[in-house]
Amino acid sequence: MPRSVAINVGANTNAPGFRGPIYDDGRFEYVPIPEEKATIEPVATYADLGLSMDIPAEIRDTPVHLDPEFAGYGPCEAYTYGDPFGVKAKPLSELSAGDYLFFYATLSTVGDQPASWISPRWGCYLIGQFELATDPVTGEAFAHLPAEQQAAFSSNAHLKRDPFDARVLVRGDPEGSRLYERAVPLSSPEAGATANHIVTEWSNDSGNGPWWRRPLRFSERATERLLDVVTG
């Protein structure tokens, strides 16, 4: 049975200064953060993503750090993720092929009649998943992979950075990887900062403090429950 880790991704109040929206029926928009590093080639901008929300004019032409990438989203054709930070890289490196990587984001509540499970103002929600196609690859090991295995990650944002800076790379199997159509709440309906049972009872996290910034680990049994939720 697979294990899983959930990590925070996407736009926030620091970068680019706003969160992606969640609408009344639970649909949402995944908005990546800006690309803050030099790149070896031009990368997509906010204007290239096909978002229906209004992007501020001053950042429409800003390059984005399109990571994770979900096939079919904007210019993406694959499912890859890379991370340069040890706090995320370590738990991701402990996963194996067939395990799951879940992505969650903080989203701002918009609309006049949000569903009862949507937090007021903002909340934390699962937005997508990868079923790992292979074992994760460390940044050090990547340099020694055969060319055809390196090519599987060629579209990842960290390979486009100059210099390459990922401490771990993950690739999703298309059959078990997707960007969700509707978000799955990790926050309570009462407040975005209050974790619900998925966090406090199913993951290894207490839900105290800024839990929405931390990696969440799930056991085999908890992963099975989580998959039931996201597919139901």
pLDDT single digits (tens) 156-184: 999 999 999 999 999 999 999 999 999 99
pLDDT, mean over the chain = 97
Question: What's the gap between Cα 97 and its chain centre?
Answer: 18
Q: Minimal CA–CA distance to 4: which of 175, 145, 177, 155?
A: 177
Paired strand residues for 216: 6
Q: Minimal CA–CA distance to 125: which of 135, 138, 114, 133?
A: 114
Across the chain, how many H-helices and E-strands are there?
Answer: 5, 11
Rounded to whole angstroms, the Cα distance separating 76 from 142 reads: 21
pLDDT at 232 over 90: no
Query: Domain range holding 79?
Result: 4-231
Q: What is the DSSP string of 37-74?
A: S-BSS---BGGGS--SSPPPGGGTTSBEE--SB-TTST
Paired strand residues for 187: 195
Q: Minimal CA–CA distance to 131: which of 103, 163, 162?
A: 103
As a whole number, mean pLDDT of residues 144-151 equals: 95
As a whole number, mean pLDDT of residues 30-39 equals: 98
Number of domains composing the chain? 1
As a whole number, mean pLDDT of residues 25-45 equals: 97
Rounded to whole angstroms, the Cα distance separating 179 from 130 reads: 9
Q: Is 1 helix (H, G, I), strand (E, B) or coil?
A: coil
